[in-house]
Chain A
Amino acid sequence: MIEIEKVHKSFKDLEVIKGVDLTVEKGEVVSIVGGSGSGKSTLLMCINGLENIQGGSIRVDGTEVHAKGTDINKLRQKIGIVFQQWNAFPHLNVLENTMLAPRKVLGKSRAEAEELAVKQLTHVGLADKLKVFPGKLSGGQQQRMAIARALAMSPDYMLFDEATSALDPQLVGEVLDTMRLLAEDGMTMILVTHEIPFARDVSDRVAFFREGLIHEIGPPDQVIDNPQKPETAAFLKSVV
């Protein structure tokens, strides 16, 4: 369970998150939508401690993310994150990219890590690209590799930060399909996304972010199909 309580986050004088409360239950898929600069991506970075926070608290399975004594590297093993820029390690091939963290962080043997990596890469449809270097892959393939790389750590949670925003339109579908599979497998996910139809399909709840706050949250058939607040309606109109 991820519990976010009254979180504040500022970059210098600019407050980007102004007291967000959000609880994500195990197995739940929550989508976060909203205009750029509304603090959605920053919130994801805060959840796995890549950004610090100025107020409030974030707990993952009861562990305070930003507390002093927290073993953040240990905690991050539970939380996979996929970024907008796919961030493949260019000096390693697809298999090595996926094996690196299981080997070095989890201390798995080469054989174990390889088995794990092949399994995940097969899952995302890259079984025939194991020895290929990221430079030779399309954006969609690199992004799917990034998903497999995160999954190889056997995380309990997956965070997706606009995973399809930097892709060519025809490549968006393959990545969304991979994410959909994951949701169907019961993975706990928080998605920051601009793909409203996709969010409606896979999410248990949708949160609309506006000016650093959750403006409206609820099941997709409420927030997306029948928004209660005029700002939500205006935003949805502008993106669809």
Chain B
Amino acid sequence: MGVSCGLLRALLPRATIPLGWFLDIFRSVPLLIQFVLFNSLKSIVGLDWSAFTVGCVVLGVYVAAFCTEIVRSGVLSVPQNLRLASRSLGMTYWQDLRYVVMPLATRVAFPGWLNLSLSAMKDTALVMWIGIIELLRASQAIVTRIQEPLLVLCIAGLIYYLISLVVSRLGAQVEKRWQQND
């Protein structure tokens, strides 16, 4: 979703200004407030969604809003000259996009995108406010049971760290492989 919004924003900047405004809302309002607001809204409108669905939708839109900007900056980083060159070889607009713009934009956007994924993963901790048991919530439950807050929170932190470590290591590998070519 973020990738397609980002492409739209980069390729049709004028036509998608309203989309930009819409996504700005999700980028600017704190995620916690979005969760609580959307959860109440859901009840008012009468949607029968589980807390998990709500969590996914809100987090999804929130991440997509940031992803849009990351992708947009990637696409805009591709020099106009290269696009002229590929078009001059007879490639169509879409071929240029697929074989020249996208691969180059990905390299620029990737570190930012990885960063976003990591922070999104940690933002999942906020869904407990709408009643989902996630890692932090679960550790608090354990804390009340065994009365060892430091130990339990350290373990919870360690779990977050390990998940992040795997993701960021994989990302670093990918970047390194790309850089060998430059």
Please report the total number of A residues contacting B with Cβ < 8 Å: 27
Task: Flag whether A181 is at the interface (Cβ < 8 A).
Answer: no
Q: How far is the CB of A81 from chain B (nearest CB, A)?
A: 5
CB atoms of B89 and A89 under 8 A apart = no
Q: How big is chain B's contact interface, by range?
A: 20 to 34
Q: How far is the CB of B90 from chain A (nearest CB, A)?
A: 4
Task: Flag whether B31 is at the interface (Cβ < 8 A).
Answer: no
Task: Flag whether B104 is at the interface (Cβ < 8 A).
Answer: yes
Task: Flag whether A53 is at the interface (Cβ < 8 A).
Answer: no
Q: Which residues of A contact B79 (CB under 8 A)?
A: 87
Q: How far is the CB of A63 from chain B (nearest CB, A)?
A: 14
Task: Flag whether A150 is at the interface (Cβ < 8 A).
Answer: yes
Q: How far is the CB of B106 from chain A (nearest CB, A)?
A: 9
* Given A89-B100, A91-B107, A104-B99, A153 and B89 contact (CB-CB distance below 8 Å): yes
Residue of B nearest to A74 (CB): B90
Those of A25-78 within 8 Å (CB) of chain B: 45, 48, 50, 73-74, 76-77
Binds A, one of B65-73, B80-88, B125-133, B147-155: B80-88
Q: How far is the CB of A89 from chain B (nearest CB, A)?
A: 6
CB atoms of A87 and B182 under 8 A apart = no
A contact patch SS: mixed
Task: Flag whether A101 is at the interface (Cβ < 8 A).
Answer: yes
- A88-103 interface mask toward B, CB cutoff 8 Å, 1 = contact, 0 = none? 0111010000001100
Q: In the complex, A150 Cα to B87 Cα: how many Å?
A: 11
Task: Flag whether A8 is at the interface (Cβ < 8 A).
Answer: no
Residue of A nearest to B93 (CB): A73
Q: How far is the CB of B21 from chain A (nearest CB, A)?
A: 28
Q: Which residues of B contact A80 (CB under 8 A)?
A: 88-89
* Given A104-B95, A133-B182, A76 and B84 contact (CB-CB distance below 8 Å): no
Those of B98-120 within 8 Å (CB) of chain A: 99-100, 103-104, 107
Those of B47-87 within 8 Å (CB) of chain A: 79, 81-82, 84-87
B84 partner, pick from A50, A93, A135, A153, beta carbons under 8 A: A50
Q: How far is the CB of A138 from chain B (nearest CB, A)?
A: 16
Q: Which residues of A contact B181 (CB under 8 A)?
A: 90-91, 93, 133, 135
CB atoms of A105 and B90 under 8 A apart = yes
CB atoms of B91 and A104 under 8 A apart = yes
Q: In the complex, A80 Cα to B178 Cα: how many Å?
A: 30
CB atoms of A50 and B88 under 8 A apart = yes
Residue of A nearest to B87 (CB): A50
Task: Flag whether A122 is at the interface (Cβ < 8 A).
Answer: no
CB atoms of A48 and B104 under 8 A apart = no
Task: Flag whether A83 is at the interface (Cβ < 8 A).
Answer: yes
Residue of A nearest to B104 (CB): A91
Residue of A nearest to B106 (CB): A91
Which 3 A/B pairs are nearest by Cβ-Cβ distance?
Answer: A101-B89, A87-B85, A77-B90
